[in-house]
Structure 1
């Protein structure tokens, strides 16, 4: 029997529908597709805790999954609105269930806050397009989450908020000049979370669609000078998605195989599946 995952969507209904209208899939559906590409027999259920009245798993239901994955979100966790508080409560239940859990961007922020850490806006501003020169810490160099990553690498990213105060039992695994916490392991209430602030699940095509909907931000915050500049950047990413061997575009944007090769780009998710999900399923003797 294939692995069973719960993919927890961090977005509200309107935001995930807008993403689907532009890209063809909600973020949770896109994440599930990545998991099923890694593990073709995987079964992926979706959960929408931002929705009032959402049918969320109880503790026993969470324990029934082999792995739980948290997507990104347009929300800011410090707003503490009901759609956010439901997600924090769910993450606390995930910890208590001791089910292997991984999260990207919003995922690591939810995991940090649920374990009594803090998330605030980054004082140096937004990280957009790619997180550059991600560097494993001393702990990260030997940690299985980053197995196969080089001494410095880039990854798709888009976020303004970041973890600013670590939970009590947290090991930072990677960092860069923009965010001190780019990858981490968090232990809380018997559960273990692995997560990253960047987005290893994003293809360049999905990243292009996301940035194409945010050209106002790119211009307002100084990443691009004009709408034409922003459109050209998005077009280059879309072209690299179709033809990752387009050398001049890869050179122009400083991208290498850590981003262009889908296996290497999704390394952290693959490592989570291999080192946590499969091993823990085997240890529990589950068929």
Structure 2
């Protein structure tokens, strides 16, 4: 029987439309494509908790899924607006459902806050483009979410906020010089969440589409000296996405196979499906 996933979109309607215009898909549609690229038979539903009156799954509905995935978002969780509070409440219900769950960036932050952790702006500033030297902790060295990753690796990333106070039952699996919590396992109310602060689901093309709408930010925050430099950077990422053999571009931007190779880049999502989703489904089948 095909695996059923719920992909929870973290963006508001306007941000979803902007991402679709830039990239052709919303974040949740793109994430669903990644899941179906790993498991061709997977069925993915999409939920929009930022939309007031959205028809969100109840407890039984959440339990009917084999896995639940939370996308990134442009929101800041400490604002605690109604569209954010709905996502926190939904994540608490996900924990209680005990359905295996995974999240990237915003997804990790929502999961942390829903388990009584905290998220704040990073005093070191934004991490953007590629997160460098993400290093596995001692706990992360033997954790199945990071199976196949080297002791230190790079990954696509864009975030200003980070987990600043850990939930009560949280194991940090990886960190780097910018964010000490780059990967974690959180346990709450019988549920288990695996999450990362970076974006294994992002191709360089999707990252280029996001940064192409934020060239002013790249200049204002000092990542690029001019708008032309920022545009050139996003164009290089897009070109490298179209042709990963462009050694000149990979060398220029220090991008290695952990990012370029889609099989290696999505390792955490693949491991989530193999080690959490399929294992949990098999256990339920034996019960």
Q: Please say whether Structure 1 and Structure 2 have the same fold, judged by a TM-score greater than 0.5.
A: yes
Equivalence map 1:1-287=2 (5 Å): 1-285=1-285
Residue 151 of structure 1 deviates from its aligned partner by 1.1
SS in 1 for 2:53: coil
Q: Deviations over 1:248-270 (max 9, x none)?
A: 11111111110000000000000
Q: How far apart in 2 are the matches of 1:49 and 1:210? A: 22
Q: How far apart in 2 are the matches of 1:55 and 1:33? A: 22
Q: Deviations over 1:197-246 (max 9, x none)?
A: 00000000000000000000000000000011001100110011011111
Q: Deviations over 1:50-97 (max 9, x none)?
A: 010000000000000000000000000000000000000000000000
SS in 2 for 1:56: coil
Q: Deviations over 1:148-188 (max 9, x none)?
A: 00011000000000000000000000000000100000000
Q: How far apart in 2 are the matches of 1:153 and 1:195? A: 16
Aligned-residue RMSD, C-alpha? 0.9
Q: Deviations over 1:129-157 (max 9, x none)?
A: 01100000000000000000001100000
Q: Flag structure 1 segments of 5+ consecutive residues without an equivalent.
A: none
Q: Provide runs of 4+ in structure 1 moved above 6 Å.
A: none
Q: How far apart in 2 are the matches of 1:168 and 1:55? A: 31
Q: How far apart in 2 are the matches of 1:240 and 1:203? A: 10
Residue 2 of structure 1 deviates from its aligned partner by 1.0
Q: Flag structure 2 segments of 5+ consecutive residues without an equivalent.
A: none
Residue 36 of structure 1 deviates from its aligned partner by 0.4
SS in 2 for 1:87: helix
Q: How far apart in 2 are the matches of 1:42 and 1:9? A: 18
SS in 2 for 1:285: helix
Q: How far apart in 1 are the matches of 2:168 and 2:60? A: 26
Q: Deviations over 1:18-41 (max 9, x none)?
A: 100111101000000000000000
SS in 1 for 2:233: helix
Residue 194 of structure 1 deviates from its aligned partner by 0.1
Q: How far apart in 2 are the matches of 1:153 and 1:207? A: 18
Q: How many residues align?
A: 287
Q: How far apart in 1 are the matches of 2:165 and 2:212? A: 32
Q: How far apart in 1 are the matches of 2:245 and 2:259? A: 12
SS in 2 for 1:263: helix
SS in 2 for 1:235: helix
